[in-house]
């Protein structure tokens, strides 16, 4: 076997050597010098809210950079991705004047946007596997809470109870309801959507509790769907949200009866309330 191997090699060697004449170079194709086409396609494929967050992230990170020339260098490259993106980031940084594009080895090529590159564009409305935080007080409507739990379970979601104390509350029917979180230990950022169900006395008491007011304000600022019983309105007033209601914000659902819960579940399944964003922060 060894002799046959060497004989085959001896016969093939001249052909192998004939093909190896000339200089061997490691050369990258021109496409390796194109740093902007894919970035341009990605940005163009995002929905409006996603583009807003990309701009906000760039402004945030560049604001941490103390050297103006570095910020200017990044802006000069963002122009190659999208001129509007560069202008918006410059505005957020407080940079005025024309942005000079950096030299690019290969110009970015136009490419059609792809919805598959966007999280929001391809998102499917669902509550399956998600959590609803329900802030409750003593005397809260027992039937309303039971209806909310039932609807959430059917949607594949879980309801966790947040209360003024970890001992829980006593509902309108006299039954005790255990708490999963104390209000200042179970912030609304832990949940995908929230509900505030209180008695009249409990709603007034929550309005005097900074942790409860912040619980609502954080949920509002994070664009979450918020269901509430009318008795919880004092918390809105204390949190500076007295003008926020279902007429001005589709993510606020008044639960005056169990029938309104279906609307809350549907709104929460759709995700965040992006239309609210300009009300809670400046969008450049």
CATH number at residue 59: 1.20.1370.20
Residues 142/173, Cβ–Cβ less than 8 Å: yes
Query: Which residue blocks in 64-187 are alpha helix, DSSP H?
Result: 68-81, 83-93, 142-154
Residue 267 and residue 141 in one domain: yes
Tokens of 22: 């000339």
pLDDT digits (tens, 9 = 90+) for 179-229: 999 999 999 999 999 999 999 999 999 999 999 999 999 999 999 999 999
Examine the domain organization and report whether 54 and 155 are in the same domain: no
Distances (CA, A) of 280 to 99, 133, 148, 221, 226: 29, 21, 28, 6, 15
Count other Cβ atoms within 10 Å, centred on residue 258: 16
How many angstroms from the chain centroid is the CA of residue 84?
A: 22
- Same domain as 145, residue 256: yes
The reply to whether 175 and 106 lie within a common domain is: no
pLDDT tens by residue, 146-184: 999 999 999 999 999 999 999 999 999 999 999 999 999
pLDDT at 17 over 90: no
The answer as to whether 183 is a domain residue is yes
Residue 20 has pLDDT above 60, yes or no: no
CATH number for the domain spanning 219: value is 3.40.50.880
Listed range (4-18, 173-187, 202-216, 251-265) with the worst mean pLDDT: 4-18
The verdict on residue 176 lying in a domain is: yes
- Domain-located, residue 63: yes
Hey, how many other C-beta atoms are within 10 angstroms of the C-beta on 19? 7
CA distance 82 to 248: 33
Q: Are residues 141 and 229 in the same domain?
A: yes
Shared-domain flag, residues 155 and 218:
yes
Please report the pLDDT score of residue 26 as a whole number: 72
CB burial of 76-102 (b: ≥16 within 10 Å; e: otherwise) equals bbbbbbbeebbbbbbebbebeeebeee
Tell me how many domains the chain contains.
2
Domain membership of residue 259 as a residue range: 131-276
* pLDDT of 82 higher than 80: yes
**Do 165 and 257 fall within a single domain?**
yes
* Stated pTM of the model: 0.83
Residues with Cβ within 8 Å of residue 131, at least 6 apart in sequence = 157, 158, 159, 160, 190, 191, 192
- Domain boundary residue, one of 65, 90, 117: 117
Domain boundary among 70, 92, 117: 117
Cα 67 to Cα 102, 243, 250, 254, distances in angstroms: 17, 42, 43, 49
pLDDT at 23 over 60: yes
Mean pLDDT of the chain: 91
Residue the block writes with tokens 């001896």: 10
Query: Which of 2-11, 85-94, 100-109 is predicted least confidently?
Result: 2-11
DSSP per-residue letters across 211-266: HHHHHHHHHHHTT--EEE-GGGHHHHHHTT-TT--TTT-TTEEE-SSGGGHHHHHH
Contact status, residue 194 vs residue 132, Cβ threshold 8 Å: yes
Domain boundary pick from 90, 117, 144: 117
Residue pLDDT, tens place only, 92-139: 999 988 898 888 877 788 889 999 999 999 999 999 999 999 999 999
């Amino acid at each position: 076997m060894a002799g046959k191997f060497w004989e085959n090699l001896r016969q093939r060697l001249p052909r192998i050597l004939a093909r190896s004449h000339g200089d061997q170079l490691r050369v990258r194709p021109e496409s390796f010098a194109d740093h902007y086409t894919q970035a341009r396609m990605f940005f163009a494929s995002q929905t409006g809210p996603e583009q807003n967050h990309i701009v906000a992230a760039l402004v945030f990170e560049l604001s941490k950079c103390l050297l103006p020339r570095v910020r200017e260098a990044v802006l000069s490259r963002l122009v190659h991705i999208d001129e509007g993106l560069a202008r918006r980031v410059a505005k957020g940084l407080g940079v005025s004047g024309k942005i000079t594009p950096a030299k690019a080895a290969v110009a970015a090529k136009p490419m059609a946007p792809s919805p598959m590159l966007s999280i929001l564009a391809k998102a499917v409305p669902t509550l399956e596997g998600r959590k609803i935080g329900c802030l409750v007080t003593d005397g809260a409507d027992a039937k309303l809470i039971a209806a909310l739990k039932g609807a959430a379970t059917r949607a594949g979601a879980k309801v966790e109870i947040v209360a003024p104390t970890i001992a829980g509350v006593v509902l309108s029917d006299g039954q005790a309801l255990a708490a999963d979180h104390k209000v200042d230990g179970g912030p609304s950022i832990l949940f995908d959507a929230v509900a505030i169900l209180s008695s009249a006395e409990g709603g007034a008491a929550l309005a005097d509790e900074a942790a409860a007011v912040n619980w609502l304000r954080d949920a509002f600022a994070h664009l979450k769907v918020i269901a509430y019983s009318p008795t919880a309105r004092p918390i809105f007033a204390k949190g500076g949200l007295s003008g926020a209601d279902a007429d001005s914000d589709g993510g606020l659902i008044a639960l005056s009866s169990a029938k309104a819960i279906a609307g809350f579940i549907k709104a929460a399944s759709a995700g965040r309330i992006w239309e609210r964003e300009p009300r809670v922060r400046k969008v450049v």
